[in-house]
Structure 1
Amino acid sequence: MKSNILPSIKLTLVCLVFFMGIYTLAVYGIAQFTPNNGNGDMIVHNGKIYYSNIGQAFTDDSYFNSRPSAVGYNAAGSGGSNKGPGNPDYLKEVQARIDTFLVHNPGVSKSEIPSDLVTASGSGLDPNISVQAAKVQIKRIANIRNIAEETLFQLIEQQTEKPLLGLFGTEKINVLKLNIALDDLK
């Protein structure tokens, strides 16, 4: 028994020192070489600080809507709804989002609504929407802001982030950055 306990205690102490000290310092050190020194992607707009890597709630009709959040965009409580695609409560929630979107975007059919505008992401904090999700909202924003639709198409093209190395992921648009660029059009 003594031959098992002593190595276990030693291993525990080595793991504590490594993971509480060496590993933590290594990650912190690497973070110092990233933009903003590992403090996230901060944007200052009109004197207010925003984190563009965390989803923001945009529901005003004069802005591009963000992806729904299962956690109310609270970064302290990141997580999904944990409701499966066959859950009746989840289906009611998605249908309510579809109905709301159709009311605010007349002329758009249900089949044209991208799934990322009516379903929350796994983290509940996804800051991005698909290019299709941005384009389906152009008519509404153009009418409210009296901006040419072509100008909004160009804005979406400018704000589109391409896949990493042209291979990994899909094209996406950060909603916060898009809406800030939209405000800067005037």
Structure 2
Amino acid sequence: MKTHFLHAIMLTLSLFLLLTVIYPAMVWAVAKLAPGKGDGQTLHHAGHTFYRHIGQSFTQDRYFWSRPSAVDYNAAGSAGSNKGPSNEAYLADVHTRIDMLLAKHPGISIAQIPMDLVTASGSGLDPDFSVRAAKVQVERIARIRGIPEDKLIALINTHTTHPLWNMFGPKKINVLELNLALDSVSAR
């Protein structure tokens, strides 16, 4: 019994040391080699600091709108809504977003609205949206900012990130980076 007790204590102490000291130190060291040095990638613009990989709220008509957030873009409470497609409150939120898009974009139909402009992501903090979500907003932004639509399309194409080897995943655009570039184009 004594030998089993000593082995159990030794195993407990070894695992404690491995899982609370060695493993976290290794993860920290690897993170320091990554872009942003483990603190996240930040963008600086007009005296403000933004986190590149955390969704930001853009709701003004002069910007490309972000993907909706189930947590109101609160990074401390990252989560999805956990409401299924038959949940009445969820459907009401989606229909409200659809109605808002149709009101601001009178030239489009419901079938042309990209899903990522009316549904929140699983984390509630998705910083990206589809190329289609950007292109459906071009007419509104061109009208408000007085920028030719072809210039906005070129800006979208410049900020489109292609999937790994053009195979794994969809093309996407970081909304924050696109809107900061939009401000730069407007400033000129």
Specify the alignment match of 1:9 in structure 2. Answer: 9
Q: How does 1:15-94 map to 2 (within 5 A)?
A: 15-94=15-94
Task: Report the CA distance shift for 1:25/1:97 in structure 2 as closer, same or farther (over 3 A).
Answer: same
Deviations 1:11-46 (A, max 9, x none): 332222112111111111111111121111100000
Task: Report the CA distance shift for 1:158/1:49 in structure 2 as closer, same or farther (over 3 A).
Answer: same
CA displacement at 1:3 relative to structure 2: 6.1
Specify the alignment match of 1:106 in structure 2. Answer: 106
Q: Which runs of 5+ in 2 are unaligned?
A: none
For the residues of structure 1 that align with 2:82 and 2:9, how far apart are their CA atoms? 38
The alignment partner of 1:26 has SS state of helix
For the residues of structure 2 that align with 1:4 and 1:60, how far apart are their CA atoms? 67
Deviations 1:51-84 (A, max 9, x none): 0100000000000000000001000000000101
Farther off after superposition, 59-68 or 33-42: 33-42
For the residues of structure 1 that align with 2:121 and 2:8, how far apart are their CA atoms? 41
The amino acid across from 2:175 in the alignment is V
Specify the alignment match of 1:184 in structure 2. Answer: 184
For the residues of structure 2 that align with 1:2 and 1:114, how far apart are their CA atoms? 66
Count of residue pairs brought into register by the alignment: 186
The amino acid across from 1:181 in the alignment is A
For the residues of structure 2 that align with 1:143 and 1:70, how far apart are their CA atoms? 30
CA displacement at 1:106 relative to structure 2: 1.6
Farther off after superposition, 30-39 or 7-16: 7-16
For the residues of structure 1 that align with 2:119 and 2:8, how far apart are their CA atoms? 47
Farther off after superposition, 163-172 or 94-103: 163-172
The amino acid across from 1:100 in the alignment is M
* Cα root mean square deviation, aligned: 1.3
Q: Which runs of 5+ in 1 are unaligned?
A: none
Task: Report the CA distance shift for 1:121/1:5 in structure 2 as closer, same or farther (over 3 A).
Answer: farther
For the residues of structure 2 that align with 1:98 and 1:51, how far apart are their CA atoms? 28
Percent sequence identity over matched residues?
Answer: 54
Specify the alignment match of 1:167 in structure 2. Answer: 167
For the residues of structure 2 that align with 1:7 and 1:79, how far apart are their CA atoms? 42
CA displacement at 1:128 relative to structure 2: 0.2
